[in-house]
């Protein structure tokens, strides 16, 4: 009897593993509302995304391949105070890489890089 239980569990294990791989591949795209920000004028950081991720805000930089989607929003941005904040809904995936952004006082901050799949102003 124990032999059959072990065989049954052994047969179920590959099925469970293959399902989790498929689910993670389908779930790697994230769609969230956030902000496209540039606060360099007040010693913040240059253009980056701040995205609400539950109780925290994630800060991300767009990959070079995403510039064609992001630059049109930046070009339309207007400011009176030297800082920019554009509300966006963004669909992206994490690249697993880091990228540096210029911040105040000549410093650079390393942020997670994202590939922007879709973005729209809200």
Residue-wise pLDDT tens digits, 37-78: 999 999 999 999 999 988 999 999 999 999 999 999 999 998
CA angle 63, 64, 69 (to 5 degrees): 85
Domain range annotation of the chain: 29-121
What pLDDT was estimated at residue 21? Answer: 40
Q: Are 103 and 62 in contact (CB under 8 A)?
A: no
Q: Are 63 and 96 in contact (CB under 8 A)?
A: no
Q: Are 34 and 51 in contact (CB under 8 A)?
A: yes
* pLDDT at residue 18 greater than cutoff 70: no
What pLDDT was estimated at residue 26? Answer: 46
Place of tokens 């995304």: 49
Query: Which CATH code of 2.40.50, 1.10.10, 3.40.50, 2.60.40 fits the domain covering 29-121?
Result: 2.40.50
Q: Give the C-alpha separation, 52 to 72, whole Å.
A: 22
- pTM (two decimals): 0.75
Terminal-residue alpha carbon distance, the chain: 61
């Amino acid at each position: 009897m124990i032999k059959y239980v072990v065989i049954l569990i052994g047969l179920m294990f590959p099925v469970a593993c293959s399902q989790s791989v498929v689910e993670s591949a389908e779930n790697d795209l994230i769609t969230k509302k956030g902000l496209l920000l540039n606060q360099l004028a007040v010693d913040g950081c240059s253009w980056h995304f701040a995205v609400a991720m539950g109780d925290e805000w994630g800060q991300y930089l767009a990959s070079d391949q995403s510039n064609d989607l992001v630059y049109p929003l930046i070009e339309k941005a207007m400011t009176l105070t030297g800082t920019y904040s554009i509300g966006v809904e963004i669909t992206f995936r994490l690249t697993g890489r880091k990228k540096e952004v210029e911040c105040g006082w000549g410093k650079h901050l390393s942020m997670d890089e994202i590939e922007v799949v879709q973005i729209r102003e809200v």
